[in-house]
Structure 1
Amino acid sequence: MIYHITTHSFWEKAIQTSFYLPEDFKKEGFIHCSSKDQIIRVANRFYRGQSDLVLLAIDPEKVNAEIVYENLERGEEFFPHIYGRLDVTAVEGLAVLTIDASGSFEFPKV
């Protein structure tokens, strides 16, 4: 599985259209995803203080677009990027991102 964070409202739009594209897709050209080991660090770094967030569990075998594992920010980790739209049928699980007592995100049961 690979994982992507979005808002509940964006996911609701995706359900209506049968595919998902994040707000920044036109600018970025891909959908940012993470591995299970990476996703909570990503959430705490980029989404701290935000609410209404959901975690999509995506089956890479069901993604019709190209997935490239790359690092575009000169770090050491490689992240999966989906270069195209995400059909909702590729999403195997969905969970609300919750926050622990310290204010950090926790990995939900997906």
Structure 2
Amino acid sequence: MNEQIIYRVLGSDEWAEALSHGEYLGAPHDVADGFIHFSTRDTLAATLALHYAGRNHLKLLHVPVEPIAAHLKWEPARGGTLFPHLYARLSVQDVFRVDDVRLDENDVHVLPEDLR
């Protein structure tokens, strides 16, 4: 895959914990699966709707593929769509940008303008 940036949604509290430790180990479902789930720009809205419906105070991590490519696998999920899975811990230094993701008045997540 040629995605240059991949995305991870997580709670503000999870990101604060990652910052305090210098790395993100993943949510409980990531740990159980053995990898950290990421989304592409094309799958981000569906990921939010499916896995984070109604959740507010979320963070969106923008992670360049290049620094983590050695531990990244593109694997099929939802109907055969390929998703990036990180088989390593995510260093906070590998995160390029962090945005807040809030709910609008209809409880729909609002992505940063450049990702809409």
TM-score scaled by length of structure 2: 0.84
Q: How many residues align?
A: 109
Residue 70 of structure 2 is aligned to residue 41 of structure 1: no
**Partner Cα separation in structure 1 for residue 86 and residue 77 of structure 2:** 14
Taking structure 1 as reference, are residues 7 and 65 closer, same or farther at Cα in structure 2, changes over 3 Å only? Answer: farther
Give a deviation string over 1:54-82, Cα, whole Å, max 9, x none: 10000111227511111145x12110000
**Partner Cα separation in structure 1 for residue 8 and residue 70 of structure 2:** 15
**SS of 1:56 mapped into structure 2:** strand
Give a deviation string over 1:28-87, Cα, whole Å, max 9, x none: 1000001111111110111011122110000111227511111145x1211000011001
Cα deviation for residue 99 of structure 1 reads 2.3
Structure 1: gaps of 5 or more residues: none
Residue 110 of structure 2 is aligned to residue 106 of structure 1: yes
Residue pair 1:11, 1:20 contacting (<8 A) in 2 also: yes
> Could you tell me the percent identity over the aligned residues?
28
Residue 33 of structure 2 is aligned to residue 31 of structure 1: no
Taking structure 1 as reference, are residues 59 and 106 closer, same or farther at Cα in structure 2, changes over 3 Å only? Answer: same
User: What stretches of structure 1 move > 6 A for 4+ residues in a row?
Assistant: none
Residue pair 1:67, 1:80 contacting (<8 A) in 2 also: yes
TM-score scaled by length of structure 1: 0.88
